[in-house]
Amino acid sequence: MASITIRRPDDWHLHLRDGDIMRAVLPYTAAVFGRAIVMPNLIPPVTTKETAIAYRNRILKALPPGHRFEPLMTYYLTDATDDDDLREGFEEGVFAAAKLYPAGATTNSESGVTSVERIYPILETMQKLGMPLLVHGEVVDSDVDVFDREAVFIDRVLDPLRKDLPDLRIVFEHVTTAEAVDYVQANSEGLGATITPHHLVINRNSMFRGGLRPHMYCLPVAKRENHRLALRAAATSADHRFFLGTDSAPHPSRDKESDCGCAGIFNAPTAMSCLAQIFDEENALGCLEAFTSLNGARFYGLPVNDDTVTLTKAAEPIANPDPVSIADDEIRVFAPMAPNYWVVEVDDEAQLVNDAGLTSRSATSV
């Protein structure tokens, strides 16, 4: 029976939502991950320091007793972002980063940025502050095929932006293409990329296997097999520019199984066991810790977690998790269509109740 102990992972791209859904999904992340970059695409979005502090406090309040977890908040950039609020929020430690959603690119992105040039003054401020910009890297132009949106984004938006603001630290979020992998590899320190577990497992056929599979639909949409293989190679290479962002994005089943089903895959409960399975298949278990627990902290200039998790390969495949119940519906959990043998356990030390530490940490950093 193989077993591997690694530093506790962090999730550098997570949708926690709010209210009942947040209370239902948060324990799955907080049980395993030490920190998460929390996406701001609520309705209405998190566009001010004040709303971010309030959201952070709601998350901390919803944490189950005994879970040590630090939410790292993000600022939702709009055409009207207030420079002073953003700067203060970053300097006071409220925000770890700001998120650029091209308007209309994905779930709850309607208030996003209509053109990157419009927010150049803000981006210049962020460059000076060393505040990371997280980009949803897809163009929304109607002439661009949905499967090409990421690759076109590199040429039309990301590369010109890198040339204009070379010192701006950027995370190219949830990359899904070989073009994105190549672009990140060709660039220097200031550009990182997150990769989701599901994009390492599914390709675009997975959405159409025997019929339409709404629970395999997310944005950026899964691409052809050659792209999945490029992502696998990047994630398992220990290249410090690539790190885990689950993009776990819960939606009630009725919203996914509808005439116009929404994008997002909820993978928080299975993310780490999926990754262990993937790294095992690639004979790269020795590189798992870099991807899940070291590279992201390095990009954000944060210390790595002190505690550990242990992943153990069971003799039989593990069961697929049940859906998570919410008030009048349920949320389906991402499960690969192939057997997974890996069980995740957080080591004792990480389970130590440290309410006092958490409370004082949150009080000083917000």
Which residues form the interface with Zn ion (CB under 5 A)?
Answer: 247
Find all residues with CB under 8 Å of 160, minimum gap 6, and list them: none
247 flagged as catalytic: yes
Beta carbon nearer to Zn ion, 6 or 274: 274
**At closest approach, how far in Å is the CB of 215 from Zn ion?**
16
Beta carbon nearer to ligand NCD, 8 or 17: 17
Task: Give the distance between the most distant pair of CA atoms in the chain.
Answer: 56
**At closest approach, how far in Å is the CB of 347 from Zn ion?**
29
Q: Which residue number is nearest to ligand NCD in terms of Cβ?
A: 264
Triad 210, 212, 215: Cα angle to 5°? 110
Q: Are 13 and 245 in contact (CB under 8 A)?
A: yes
- Smallest CA-to-CA distance from 115 within 166, 153, 89, 167 is with 153
The residue count for binding ligand NCD (CB under 6 A) is: 12
Of 29, 106, 295, 305, the residue at the interface with ligand NCD (CB under 6 A) is 106
Beta carbon nearer to Zn ion, 247 or 280: 247
247 contributes a contact to ligand NCD by CB under 6 A? yes
Q: How many CB atoms lie within 10 A of CB 92?
A: 12
122 contributes a contact to ligand NCD by CB under 6 A? no
Exactly one of 10, 11, 239, 247 is catalytic; name it: 247
Q: Give dist(CA 65, CA 38) in Å, integer.
A: 20
For residue 164, give both structure tokens.
């204009």
239 binds, among ligand NCD, Zn ion, none (CB under 5 to 8 A by kind): none
Beta carbon nearer to Zn ion, 10 or 247: 247
Q: Give dist(CA 364, CA 366) in Å, integer.
A: 6
Assign 325 to helix, strand or coil. strand
Residues 30-69, mask of contacts with ligand NCD (x by CB under 6 A): -----------x----------------------------
The DSSP element (H or E) to which 275 belongs, if any, is: helix 271-281
Residue with tokens 């992972």: 9
Residues forming the active site = 247
- Residues in contact with ligand NCD by CB under 6 A are 15, 41, 106-108, 136, 218-219, 247, 249, 263-264
